[in-house]
Amino acid sequence: MRKLDSQQVRDIAAGAAILGTGGGGDPYLGTLAALQALEDHEPPVVLDPDELDDDALIALPVMVGAPVPLIEKFSFGPELEYVFKALDRYLGSRLVALMSPEMGGVNSVIPIILGARLGIPVVDADAMGRAYPEIDLTTLTLYGIPASPFALADEHGNQVVINGADNYSVERIARTAVVEFGAICAGMGFPLTGRQLREAAVLRTLSHAERIGKAIHEAHAAKTDAIPDIVRITRGYILFEGKIVDVQRRTMHGWSIGEAVIEGYGDCSGSKLTVSFQNENLVAFLDGAIVASVPDLITIIDSDGGEAITTERLRYGFRVTVLGMPCDEKWRTPAGVALGGPGRFHYDFEYQPIEALNGPPKEATSAG
């Protein structure tokens, strides 16, 4: 059990953005909202998963929708309380803690914001260990934990509680409602017990994100390169270094969909890397060959600052380093690959772990 100070919140948001594979919301916006919540209220208690009672009821608050509208709409107002009250009322006022739905610059800290406002503990865990663009793409789904009841709310007080036949149905119905709510809104669902959380969630990911974020801010202070430390902490790979020469992006059905083309320099000169995304980065193609794919993590980092660039902020001319990182082992089971692997996003190739595609991890110095 512990409480977070403002630097720890910054570190969690920065580290979660690395794990968020380009999605999960802009870390700058998430950090601003979380720091404001800590200034206005007491920071929430962060619980280790082992500190939860077996029958304690937890739920996952989340921003649902496309990341680009979040920049314009900044949906951290009363809708967070509206969606909590809608779900808690439906459950008979039984919720006692919150958990992050995913690791991402906004969604990792939404429970911190809401926990501070309401005085509710936050669990050091999440439901993905990365970010994914659809509600049902969680390790909780793999363990048969329903997303329903799933609540949605907007800033005007409009509220919907969905009871879907399965988690994919919840995603489909919620996506339609989100479009009506302005392409981004607050959501909350996946009520589960402490016993279920310890079995089905990805544990201690807030602490993991904090270690990554701490490495970034310490490198900034020392005027050194953060990327080697990020790679070491995540057991990752430097897949490519280069300059973004093209970005194609469109918002469809509540998602930001497109690809970024990166032209190599240094050891990567003469090559191109294309990263396809749907809110999150999904597949990286080096000169047409796959070097990483979901469910493994692909993150595009500012080569100068060592900070993640979310898909909505990718721009022509950015000098970037592309990292690949292994996913949590739950995603590497046959059921995990079927749920969150390439086939889910209509790619016609079989998933191969990033280690199989790139060999054992090397000391992080440069790409190639």
Q: Give me the CATH number covering residue 290.
A: 2.40.390.10
* Number of neighbouring beta carbons within 10 Å of residue 51: 15
pLDDT of residue 254: 60
**Residue 229 within a domain:** yes
162 and 232 inside one domain: no
State the amino acid at position 115 in one-letter form: G
Regions of the chain where pLDDT drops below 70: 66-75, 252-254, 362-368
Q: Bin 178: left if φ > 0, else alpha if -120 < ψ < 50, else beta.
A: alpha
Contact 296, 325 (CB under 8 A): yes
247 and 183 inside one domain: no
**Residue 151 within a domain:** yes
89 and 189 inside one domain: yes
196 and 333 inside one domain: no
pLDDT of residue 326: 97
**Residue 213 within a domain:** no
193 and 230 inside one domain: no
Contact 116, 37 (CB under 8 A): yes
What residues does 153 pair with on adjacent strands? 159, 186
22 and 169 inside one domain: yes
In sequence order, the 6+-apart residues with CB closer than 8 A to the CB of 310 are: 17, 20, 22, 23, 24, 25, 26, 27, 67, 105
pLDDT of residue 363: 56
pLDDT of residue 249: 86
Query: CATH no. for residue 184?
Result: 3.40.1610.10
What distance in Å separates the CA atoms of residue 147 and residue 145, rounded to the nearest whole number?
Answer: 7
**Residue 364 within a domain:** no
**Residue 215 within a domain:** no
What distance in Å separates the CA atoms of residue 307 and residue 15, rounded to the nearest whole number?
Answer: 9
Q: Residue 45's domain spans which residues? A: 2-203
250 and 156 inside one domain: no
pLDDT of residue 80: 95
**Residue 123 within a domain:** yes
pLDDT of residue 364: 46
20 and 164 inside one domain: yes
What distance in Å separates the CA atoms of residue 367 and residue 326, rounded to the nearest whole number?
Answer: 17
Residue of 210, 239, 3, 222 whose CA lies nearest to 126: 210
194 and 58 inside one domain: yes
pLDDT of residue 368: 41
70 and 140 inside one domain: yes
230 and 99 inside one domain: no
Task: Tell me the whole-structure pTM to 2 decimals.
Answer: 0.92
**Residue 208 within a domain:** no
What distance in Å separates the CA atoms of residue 283 and residue 298, rounded to the nearest whole number?
Answer: 7
Tell me how many domains the chain contains: 2
Last residue of a domain, one of 148, 171, 203: 203
pLDDT of residue 207: 98
Residue of 352, 340, 358, 332 whose CA lies nearest to 21: 340
270 and 162 inside one domain: no
Where helices occur in the chain by DSSP H, the ranges are 6-19, 27-40, 67-73, 79-90, 110-118, 139-142, 167-180, 194-200, 205-222, 227-234, 334-340, 354-358
pLDDT of residue 186: 93
**Residue 118 within a domain:** yes
